[in-house]
C-alpha cells in the first residue's frame, strides 16, 4: 500500500475538469487499497467533512463569485505533516503555487514527485491585458520549462500533449489519460424526436473555451431548427455570454446552469442530442470523452484534443473554427437522426478504456517505478566515492 499526496491549486468546491480528474483518480486509488490525501487551497465558507482526505492550505480569495482563490501554502508544516504520515510519492496537478510547494516538499523529504500536465498553460496568457500577453506567455513557458525538469516523471493525458511537452521542454512524458466518469457501456438511447434537439456544453465559462463562437454558431442553427443550448458550468465569461445571447436574439433558447454536481451533469448528458465543443486549446478534452461515454455524439472545433478523441471513436464531426462551419456540422448531424444512436453506441464502447479503475492501475505502476528509481539513485549516491 502506498501513501500518495496530490497537490492542486484548485479543489472542491471549485469545479473544473482537473478537479474532477483528481477526485476520480484518488477515489479509484483508495479502492485499490492506497492512502491518498489531496493538498489544496481553502475556500471561504467551505468546510470538509470530518475525517476527509483533504489537507487545506491558506488561500487568498481573489474572485469570490467564481470561487477563485490564490493558494498560500506553509511549506514547512506541510512537509512535517506528510513526513509524519509516511508519504511515499507526491503527485502535482499544477505547476504553479501548489506544484512549486509539492516540488520543494518532495526535495526536502527525499521522495519522488510526478506531475500531470493538465493544460496548455501558456494559453492562459489570454487573461492578461493585450499588451502584456506575449511577455506573460513567455514567462509561463519559462516557468514550465524549469518546473518539469525538477520532476521525476511527467504525465501527459494524451499523445498530443506528450508531443507538445517533447517539443517545448525536451523531455519524454508518460501518456496516461485522466479518468472519465461514464455510466458504463449500454446500448445508446435514441434521441426523442418529439422534443427540440438539445445541444450541450459542459465546462468552465472562460475565454479559453471559445464560447462566443458557439453562441454565434447556435444563432445560425436556430434559424433553421428549433433547438435549445445548455451551458453547464460557470466562470468569468458568464455575464458576457448572457449579454451576447441577448444581442444575437437567442437568449430564450439558451440556458446557463452554473456549477453543478456530477449527478446533475450526468443528467444533462443523458438528455442531450449533441455535445458541442468550441475550445481550441484542450490537452485531452475530458468532457468530449464523458459525452461519448454517455452515448452522445459530438461536434467539436478542430483541435488536437478533438481530433484525437473523435478520430479514434468515430462518433461525431470535427469542424473549422468559424460560426458557419460549426453550425453546418451541427445541422448535418441533426438531420441524420438515424445515425445518432449508432454514433452514440460506438462512442460509448470506445471510451470505456478511460474509466477510473484502469487509469488508477496504470498510475499505480508509474508510482512504483519512480519510487524504485528514486531509491536506486539515492543508493548510488551513497556508494559513489567522494
Q: Do strands 198-202 and 228-232 pair parallel, antiparallel, or not at all (unpaired)?
A: parallel
Rounded Cα–Cα distance for residues 192 and 242 (Å): 28
- Specify the range with the lowest mean pLDDT, choosing from 173-187, 272-286, 319-333, 347-361: 173-187
Q: Is there a contact between 301 and 323 (Cβ–Cβ < 8 Å)?
A: no
Give the residue with greater pLDDT, 2 vs 204: 2
Give the per-residue pLDDT at 320: 96
User: What count of other Cβ atoms lies within 10 Å of the Cβ of residue 130?
Assistant: 7
**Helices and strands in the chain: count of H runs, count of E runs:** 13, 15
Q: Provide the CATH topology of domain 198-353.
A: Rossmann fold (3.40.50)
Give the per-residue pLDDT at 198: 97
Residue with cell string 514550465: 144
How many CA atoms lie within 13 Å of 310's alpha carbon, on the beta-carbon side?
Answer: 25
Whole-number mean pLDDT of the chain? 91
Spell out the residues 6+ positions from residue 201 whose beta carbon is closer than 8 angstroms to its own: 209, 211, 214, 229, 230, 231, 232, 233, 275, 276, 277, 278
Rounded Cα–Cα distance for residues 356 and 352 (Å): 9
Spell out the residues 6+ positions from residue 334 whose beta carbon is closer than 8 angstroms to its own: 197, 221, 225, 227, 273, 274
What is the sign, positive or negative, of the torsion defined by CA atoms of 116, 119, 123, 126? negative
Rounded Cα–Cα distance for residues 216 and 211 (Å): 9
Give the per-residue pLDDT at 382: 58
Q: pLDDT over 90 for what percent of the chain?
A: 68
Question: Which option is the CATH number for 3-179+355-383: 3.40.50.10880, 3.40.50.2000, 2.60.40.1080, 1.10.3720.10?
Answer: 3.40.50.2000
Task: Write 137-142 long-range contacts (CB < 8 A, 24+).
Answer: 141/168
- How many residues are there in the chain? 386
DSSP state of 86: T
Closest CA to 63 of 202, 201, 204: 204
At residue 371, what are phi and psi to the nearest 5 degrees?
-65, -45
Helix, strand or coil, per DSSP, at residue 258: strand
For residue 301, give the H/E element and its range: strand 298-301
Q: Is there a contact between 294 and 191 (Cβ–Cβ < 8 Å)?
A: no
C-alpha cell at 67: 470561487
Q: Do strands 59-63 and 68-71 pair parallel, antiparallel, or not at all (unpaired)?
A: antiparallel
Would you put residue 369 in left (φ > 0), alpha (ψ -120 to 50) or beta? alpha
Q: Is there a contact between 60 and 70 (Cβ–Cβ < 8 Å)?
A: yes
Q: Is the pTM of this model over 0.85?
A: no
Delimit the CATH 3.40.50.2000 region(s) of the chain. 3-179+355-383, 198-353
Closest CA to 79 of 101, 56, 96: 101
Where does the pLDDT of residue 183 fall: very low under 50, low under 70, confident under 90, or very high at 90 and above? low
Where does the pLDDT of residue 81 fall: very low under 50, low under 70, confident under 90, or very high at 90 and above? very high
Would you put residue 121 in left (φ > 0), alpha (ψ -120 to 50) or beta? alpha
At residue 200, what are phi and psi to the nearest 5 degrees?
-125, 135
Where does the pLDDT of residue 127 fall: very low under 50, low under 70, confident under 90, or very high at 90 and above? confident
Give the per-residue pLDDT at 281: 78
**Highest-scoring range by mean pLDDT, 111-120, 308-317, 370-379:** 111-120
Question: Is it the case that residue 166 has pLDDT exceeding 90?
Answer: yes
Give the per-residue pLDDT at 383: 59
Q: Do strands 113-116 and 59-63 pair parallel, antiparallel, or not at all (unpaired)?
A: unpaired
Q: Is there a contact between 59 and 65 (Cβ–Cβ < 8 Å)?
A: no
Amino acid at each position: 500500500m502506498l501513501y500518495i499526496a496530490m497537490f492542486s491549486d484548485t479543489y472542491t468546491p471549485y469545479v473544473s475538469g482537473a478537479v474532477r480528474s483528481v477526485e476520480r483518480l484518488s477515489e479509484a486509488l483508495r479502492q485499490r487499497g492506497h492512502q491518498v490525501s489531496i493538498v489544496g487551497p481553502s475556500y471561504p465558507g467551505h468546510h470538509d467533512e470530518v475525517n476527509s482526505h483533504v489537507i487545506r492550505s491558506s488561500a487568498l480569495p481573489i474572485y469570490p463569485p467564481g470561487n477563485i482563490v490564490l493558494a498560500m501554502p506553509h511549506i514547512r508544516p506541510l512537509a512535517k505533516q506528510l513526513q509524519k504520515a509516511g508519504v511515499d510519492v507526491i503527485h502535482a496537478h499544477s505547476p504553479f503555487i501548489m506544484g512549486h510547494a509539492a516540488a520543494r516538499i518532495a526535495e526536502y523529504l527525499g521522495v519522488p514527485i510526478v506531475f500531470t500536465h493538465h493544460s496548455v498553460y501558456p494559453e492562459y496568457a489570454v487573461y492578461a491585458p493585450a499588451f502584456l500577453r506575449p511577455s506573460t506567455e513567455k514567462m509561463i513557458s519559462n516557468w514550465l520549462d524549469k518546473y518539469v525538469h525538477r520532476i521525476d516523471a511527467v504525465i501527459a493525458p494524451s499523445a498530443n500533449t506528450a508531443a507538445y511537452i517533447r517539443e517545448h521542454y525536451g523531455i519524454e512524458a508518460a501518456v496516461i489519460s485522466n479518468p472519465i466518469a461514464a455510466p458504463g457501456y449500454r446500448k445508446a438511447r435514441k434521441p426523442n424526436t418529439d422534443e427540440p434537439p438539445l445541444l450541450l456544453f459542459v465546462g468552465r465559462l472562460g475565454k479559453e473555451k471559445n464560447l462566443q463562437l458557439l453562441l454565434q454558431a447556435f444563432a445560425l442553427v436556430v434559424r433553421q431548427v428549433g433547438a435549445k443550448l445548455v451551458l453547464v458550468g460557470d466562470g468569468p465569461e458568464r455575464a458576457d455570454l448572457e449579454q451576447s445571447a441577448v444581442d444575437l436574439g437567442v437568449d430564450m433558447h439558451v440556458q446557463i446552469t452554473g456549477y453543478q454536481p456530477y449527478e446533475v451533469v450526468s443528467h444533462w448528458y443523458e438528455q442531450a442530442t449533441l455535445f458541442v465543443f468550441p475550445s481550441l486549446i484542450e490537452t485531452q478534452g475530458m468532457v468530449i470523452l464523458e459525452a461519448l461515454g454517455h452515448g452522445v455524439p459530438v461536434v467539436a472545433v478542430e483541435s488536437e484534443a478533438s481530433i484525437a478523441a473523435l478520430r479514434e471513436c468515430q462518433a461525431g464531426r470535427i469542424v473549422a473554427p468559424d460560426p458557419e462551419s460549426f453550425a453546418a456540422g451541427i445541422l448535418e448531424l441533426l438531420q441524420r437522426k438515424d445515425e445518432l444512436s449508432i454514433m452514440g453506441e460506438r462512442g460509448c464502447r470506445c471510451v470505456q478504456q478511460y474509466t477510473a479503475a484502469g487509469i488508477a492501475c496504470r498510475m499505480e505502476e508509474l508510482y512504483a517505478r519512480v519510487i524504485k528509481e528514486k531509491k536506486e539513485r539515492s543508493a548510488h549516491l551513497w556508494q559513489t566515492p567522494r
